[in-house]
Structure 1
C-alpha cells in the first residue's frame, strides 16, 4: 500500500541515465530558479513603505522611488558580477565554491551557512507571503493561515520529489501568469492616470508631516527593500540543473531575470506612489493597487491575487531547487551527512528536499505564519554570501592576472564593495528586530559542518590502507573461534547455533547465570540437543549480564595470537510491528552495540522473524 501511494505521488523510479532529460531549458529554468527574485517584488515595495510612511506620512512616496532606483542599480551590479561567476564555475555551488577556492575553506563555510539559512527562510517567508495574498482575497481564511502555509510547503516538497522536469511544468506556468497579470496591472494603472486622466483616491489615514528624508531613514528603507534581490544567486548555484550548454542557458536566464525584476519591481513601486497606497494588516499593498485599478470584485483583481499568491509560493521552489544541490556539494566535501549527496527515486536530492520541508514548516509554526516576523532575519545571510562570492572572484582575477583581468576584477571588486556595505546596512538596521539570530546561527552552522568533516576525516584515516595491500592478507589458515551467547534455548538460538556449526573451527555456547534454578533448567534442555559443543557458564551475582559477557570476550581475545579470530554469533529475533519492540528486553541490542566497538572482534547477527 505504501509503495502504491508513493508511486502515485512521486511517479515511477527513474534510471540514472534519464538525468539529462530532467534538466531545465531556458523556458522552464527561468520560472523555477528565478521565481524567488521575481516574486519578492510582491512584498519588497510594501516593506519600503512600512519604514517610510510612519515617519514621513504622505511625503513617503517620492523617496520610495529613490530607494527603488538604488535597489535596481544594485541588482544590475549583481547580475554583471554573477555572469562572471557562471563563466568560471560551471559546476554550481555559487558562493561556497568561489569563496572556498579563493578565500579559504573558512570563508566558504560561512558562505554555505549563510546560503543554507537564507534558503530555509526563503521557503518560510515566501509561503507565508503567499498565504497573506490568499487571505487578502478571502479574509475568512486568516485564522487558518498557519495550516494553509504548512500544507503549501508540503505540496512544494512533493512536487520537487517528483523530479526537476515535473516540478518545472508544475510550477513554471503560474510564474508566467504572474508576470502577465502584474505587467497588465502596471500598464493599465499608468494608462488610466496618464492617458485617461483619472485621479487616484488619496490614502485617507495619511497626513503630511514635517519630517524629511534623512540618510539613516533612507538606509533603513533600502535595507527593507533589498529583499527584492534575494534569489539572484540561485541561477549561478544551479548551473548543473540546466541542459547543455549549461553556462549559456544560465546566463540567459540571469539576463532575463534582471529585465523582469526591473520592470515589475520598478512598476509596482511607481504604482504605489501614484495610487498612494499604504501597508495594512488585512490587505497587501499589491492587492490595494489592484483594487483601485481593476475594482475589488473584478476578474483581474482575483487574477492578480491568485497569481501573486502562487508566485510567492513558487518562490520557495527556488530554495527547493538549489539548497538540495548545495547540500549535495557540501556532502561530497564531507561537511554535511553523506546522505545529502544521494539522488532519490526521481533523481532529485530527496533527503535535502525533505529536510527543507521539515525546517521551513517548523519556522512557519513558530511565527504563526506572520511574514513580518521573519523578514528581519531575511536577506542578511544572502548579502553576506553575495559579498564573499564577489570578493572571492576579485581575488581570483588578482591572483591569476589572466586576460582582461583588471576589467573583470573591477566589476567584481565594485560588486563586493556595494554588497558589503549593503550587508552592514541590513545587519545594523535589522539587528534588534531579529537579525542578531542570524549572526549566532552562521557560526553555529560553521562549527557543526567543521565537526562533521572532522568525523569523516577520522573515519577515513582509520580505514585508509598505508601499506602494501598484499601484506594485509594472512597467508596461513586463520582459526575462527565462535562464541554463541544463550539466555534461553529457543528457535532463535538454534538457528544461530546451526550457522556457527557451518563457519567455525571451535565453538562454545556461553551463558551468564543470574539464577541457579533457571540455569539448571537451561543445562537440562541443552544436554538434550546431543551436540558436542561445550556450554560455558559464568555466574553474575550482581546480575550484570552484559558486563560479564564482555569481560569473557576480552579475556578470550587476550589468550589468542594473530592467527586466531573470535566471532560472536548473536541471536536476534525480528518483530514486524515497530511498537512491539518496546515490549521486549533490549539486551541483545546493547550487547551488539558494545561488541561492535571492539576493533578485533567479529560479530554476526542472525535474525529470526516473529510471525504475527
Structure 2
C-alpha cells in the first residue's frame, strides 16, 4: 500500500541515465531559479511603505522610489559579481564553496549556514506572503491562513519530489503569467494617468516625525528583501544543461532585467496611485483594484501574485537541496542529504526544507512582517562572504582582468556588508537577533559534523604500508555463537539450527524473570533433543542485555582474550507496517548495546511471517480437513 501511494504521488523511479533529461534550459530554468527574486517584487515595496507611511505620511511614496533605485543599483552589482562566481565555480554551492576555498573553513561554514537559513525562510516568507495576498482579496479565508500555508508547503514538497523536470513545468508557467500581469499593470496604469485619470488621494494622518537617515535605512532594510533569491542561480549551476555556466549567466541576466522592470515600475506607479497597504490589502492587489477596477485583470493580478509568491518558495527547493548536497559531499552535513531519490531529486533535502519551513509558518502565525525580520540578514551575510571570497581570489591569483574583477567583487562585498549591519540594527527587535544567535550554533554543529566525518575516515583508512600485513588465510581468534532466546518458537529454533551449521561452539541463552518462566522454557527446550547447551540467567530487574554481557565476561563462559563472540538474534518480520507497533521491537536496542563491544559481532536471523488473514483462513481450512 505504501509503495502504491508513493508511486501515485511521486511517480515511477528514474534511472541514473535519465539525469541529463532532468537538466534545465533557459526557458524553464528562469522561472524555477528566479521565482523567489521575482516574487519579492510583490512585498518588498509594500514593506518599505509600511515603515515610511506611519512616520512621514504622503512623502513615503517619493522616498520609496528613491530607495527602490538604490536597491536596483545593488542588484546590478550582485549580478555582475555572481556572473564571475558562475564562471569560476560551475560545480554549484555558491557562497559556501567560494568562502571555504578563499577565506577558510569557518567563513565557508558561516556562508553555508547563512544560505541554508535564507532558503528556509524563503519558503516560509513566500508562502506566508502568498496567503496574505489571497486573503486580502478573499477576507473570509483569513482565519485559515496557517492551515493554507502548511498545505501549500506540502504541495510544493510533493511537486519537487517528482523531479526537476516535472516541477519546472508545474511551477514555471505561473512565473511568466505574473511577469506579464505586472507589466500590464504598469503600462496600463501609466496609460490611464495619461488619459487624465486622477487617483483618489489617501486620507493620511500628519507626519509624526521628520525623514531621518535611520528611518530611511530601516525602510531600505525592508526593501532589500527584493534581492533575495539572486544567489540561487549560482548555487544551482549543475541543474542547467551543458554548457551550464553559459545558461546560468543568461538566466541571471534575464532575472535582473525582469526585476529592474517590475520593481522600479511598481515603485513608480505606487508613487502616483498612493494606495495604502495594510489591513485593507496588499500593495499589488490594491494597485490592481485602483487601475483595473472590478474586472478580469484585477482577479488575474490577484491570482498570479498569489501563485508567484507561493512558487517563489520553489527557488529554495532548487537551491537548498543542491547547497546541502554540496555541503554533504564536502562532509559538512549528513551524507544522507547528498543522495538522490527515486526521481533523481535530493529527496532528503526537500523533506528537511519542508518540515522546518512548516514549523516557522506555524510558529510565526504566517505573519510576513515577523518573518521578514529574520529573512534578509542571512542572505546578505552569504552575499558578503561570497563577494569577499571572490575578491581574495582575484587578488591572490592576479590573472586576466583581475583588477576590474576585484573592484566589482570588492565593491559588492562592501555594499552588502553595509546592508548586513543596517538590517541587523534596523530589524534587531523584529527578529534579526534570532538569526544572529542561531548562526553561531549552526556553525558549531556543522563543524562538529565535519570533524566526525574526518575522524571516521582517518580511523577506517588503510595505509599503504598496512596492505602487505593483512592475512586472510590465517585467523588468530576462535569464533563462538550465542543465540539469545525469549521462548522456544519457530524463530528461535531456526536461528539455533543456522548457528549449528556454521560453528561448533553454540550456546542458547535465555533471560528469565521468574522460576515459572525459566521452567517453561527449559521443558520446551528439552523436547528439541539438541545437544546445544541452554544457559538460563535470572533478571529480577527485567534487564536483558546486562545478564548477557555479564555471562560473556564471566569465568563460566570461559572466553579467552581474542575470541570473537557472534550474538545471533532471531527476529520475526511482520507483514504490515503497523504490526511493528504491536511488538516489543527490542532487537534494535539489543543490537545498539552489543555493538559497543569490539569482541562482539551481532547478526540477525529473520523469519518472515505470512499475512494474518491468509494464514488464519488456511488454518481454518486445515482444521476442517482434520
Instruction: Give the Å deviation of 1:197.
Output: 2.0
**Number of the residue aligned with 2:130:** 130
The counterpart of 1:333, out of the listed 316, 321, 330, is 330
The counterpart of 1:344, out of the listed 320, 325, 341, is 341
1:57 matched to 2:57? The reply is yes
* 1:189-208 mapped onto 2 (5 Å cutoff): 189-193=189-193, 195-203=194-202, 205-208=203-206
Instruction: Give the Å deviation of 1:592.
Output: 2.3
Instruction: Give the Å deviation of 1:485.
Output: 2.1
Distance 1:526 1:340, change over 3 A: same
Instruction: Give the Å deviation of 1:580.
Output: 4.8
* CA deviation profile, 1:115-144 (whole Å, cap 9, x unmatched): 111111100110111111111221111111
- Structure 2 residue matching 1:127: 3-state secondary structure: helix
Question: Any unmatched runs of 5+ in structure 1?
Answer: none
Mapped contact 2:567–2:602 kept (Cα < 8 A): yes
* 1:266-281 mapped onto 2 (5 Å cutoff): 266-281=264-279
Alpha-carbon distance in 2 for matches of 1:92, 1:111: 14
- Structure 2 residue matching 1:482: 3-state secondary structure: strand
Give the alignment's Cα RMSD to 1 decimal. 1.8
Distance 1:425 1:243, change over 3 A: same
Alpha-carbon distance in 2 for matches of 1:524, 1:6: 48
Instruction: Give the Å deviation of 1:584.
Output: 4.1
Alpha-carbon distance in 2 for matches of 1:210, 1:54: 7
After superposing the two structures, state which structure 1 stretch, 29-38 or 505-514, moved more: 505-514
Alpha-carbon distance in 2 for matches of 1:543, 1:317: 52
* 1:471-482 mapped onto 2 (5 Å cutoff): 471-476=469-474, 479-482=478-481
**Number of the residue aligned with 2:615:** none
Mapped contact 1:38–1:260 kept (Cα < 8 A): yes
Alpha-carbon distance in 2 for matches of 1:369, 1:566: 56
* 1:287-302 mapped onto 2 (5 Å cutoff): 287-295=285-293, 297-302=294-299
* 1:16-35 mapped onto 2 (5 Å cutoff): 16-35=16-35
**Number of the residue aligned with 1:370:** 367
**Number of the residue aligned with 2:245:** 247
* 1:315-464 mapped onto 2 (5 Å cutoff): 315-464=312-461
Instruction: Give the Å deviation of 1:459.
Output: 2.4
* 1:96-107 mapped onto 2 (5 Å cutoff): 96-107=96-107
Alpha-carbon distance in 1 for matches of 2:499, 2:370: 63
Mapped contact 1:139–1:282 kept (Cα < 8 A): no
Mapped contact 1:192–1:198 kept (Cα < 8 A): yes
After superposing the two structures, state which structure 1 stretch, 282-291 or 97-106, moved more: 282-291
**Number of the residue aligned with 1:565:** 564
Alpha-carbon distance in 2 for matches of 1:536, 1:177: 75
Instruction: Give the Å deviation of 1:517.
Output: 4.2
Distance 1:521 1:136, change over 3 A: closer
Structure 1 runs of 4+ with >6 Å offset: none
Mapped contact 1:479–1:505 kept (Cα < 8 A): no
Q: Aligned residue pairs: how many?
A: 608
Distance 1:416 1:542, change over 3 A: closer
Distance 1:497 1:122, change over 3 A: same
1:173 matched to 2:164? The reply is no
Alpha-carbon distance in 2 for matches of 1:175, 1:227: 18
**Number of the residue aligned with 2:492:** 493
Distance 1:517 1:64, change over 3 A: closer
* CA deviation profile, 1:40-71 (whole Å, cap 9, x unmatched): 01111111111111111112221111111111
Alpha-carbon distance in 2 for matches of 1:545, 1:47: 62
Instruction: Give the Å deviation of 1:545.
Output: 4.2
- Structure 2 residue matching 1:379: 3-state secondary structure: helix
Question: Any unmatched runs of 5+ in structure 2?
Answer: 613-626
Mapped contact 1:174–1:307 kept (Cα < 8 A): yes
Instruction: Give the Å deviation of 1:610.
Output: 4.2
Alpha-carbon distance in 2 for matches of 1:93, 1:496: 49
**Number of the residue aligned with 1:551:** 550
Instruction: Give the Å deviation of 1:547.
Output: 1.3
TM-score (norm 2): 0.94
TM-score (norm 1): 0.96
Distance 1:8 1:574, change over 3 A: closer
* CA deviation profile, 1:164-193 (whole Å, cap 9, x unmatched): 111111111110011111001100111111
After superposing the two structures, state which structure 1 stretch, 467-476 or 352-361, moved more: 467-476
Distance 1:197 1:432, change over 3 A: same
- Structure 2 residue matching 1:481: 3-state secondary structure: strand
After superposing the two structures, state which structure 1 stretch, 483-492 or 326-335, moved more: 483-492
Mapped contact 1:508–1:534 kept (Cα < 8 A): yes
* CA deviation profile, 1:550-607 (whole Å, cap 9, x unmatched): 0122347983254x43211122233445555455445544332221111121121112
Distance 1:535 1:241, change over 3 A: same
**Number of the residue aligned with 2:305:** 308
Distance 1:506 1:210, change over 3 A: closer
Mapped contact 1:26–1:249 kept (Cα < 8 A): yes
* 1:32-43 mapped onto 2 (5 Å cutoff): 32-43=32-43
After superposing the two structures, state which structure 1 stretch, 541-550 or 398-407, moved more: 541-550
- Structure 2 residue matching 1:570: 3-state secondary structure: strand
After superposing the two structures, state which structure 1 stretch, 601-610 or 216-225, moved more: 601-610
* 1:256-267 mapped onto 2 (5 Å cutoff): 256-267=254-265
- Structure 1 residue matching 2:127: 3-state secondary structure: helix
Alpha-carbon distance in 2 for matches of 1:555, 1:208: 88
Mapped contact 1:163–1:346 kept (Cα < 8 A): yes
